[in-house]
Amino acid sequence: MLAACGDDRAPVAHRFGFCLTAQPVGGRARDFWPASWGPRPNVDDVELEVLARGHLSRWHLLVPVFAHRYLPAAPAPLGSPVFSVMQTDVVHYGSDLVDYVRHELHLP
């Protein structure tokens, strides 16, 4: 259940680890295979999951901020963008944490 990524009551370590494993593993890897990974291999779901996890291990990690909003883990220079992440849908949500909070709370 991907919703646990945005469950603010869950310990950060649990949320962080869960988000890393929630998508796109198992049979869902057949539905999510970016072109940058090359052609999707014709293998069973177990092998496809191993391959997908290998590709995902090279992606940048995200640190949960609130609900399904995340900051890049590293490098994290000042002005790191905030993203909204829902499964494979990723949207830029703020130019930095201050910009995100200002928009989220409707502040001037």
pLDDT for the residue 2: 34
E strands within 1-108?
62-66, 69-72, 82-86, 89-94
User: Burial of 35 by CB count in 10 Å (0-12 exposed, 13-18 middle, 19+ buried)?
Assistant: exposed
pLDDT attached to residue 76: 67
Whole-number pLDDT of residue 38: 93
d(CA 86, CA 2): 8
Q: Which residues pair with 70 in a beta bridge?
A: 64, 83
pLDDT at res. 86: 83
Q: What CA–CA distance (Å, rounded) separates 20 from 43? A: 23
Residue with tokens 């779901």: 45
Q: Which residues pair with 2 in a beta bridge?
A: none
Task: Name 66's bridge partners.
Answer: 69
pLDDT of residue 69: 92
Tens of pLDDT, residue by residue, the chain (108 residues): 233 444 555 555 444 454 544 444 444 555 778 889 999 999 988 888 888 888 888 887 888 888 889 998 877 677 889 999 887 788 999 999 999 999 999 998
The phi, psi pair for 82, rounded to 5°, reads -105, 135
Answer for the pair 73, 63: CB distance below 8 angstroms, yes or no. yes
Residue 30: the pLDDT is: 59
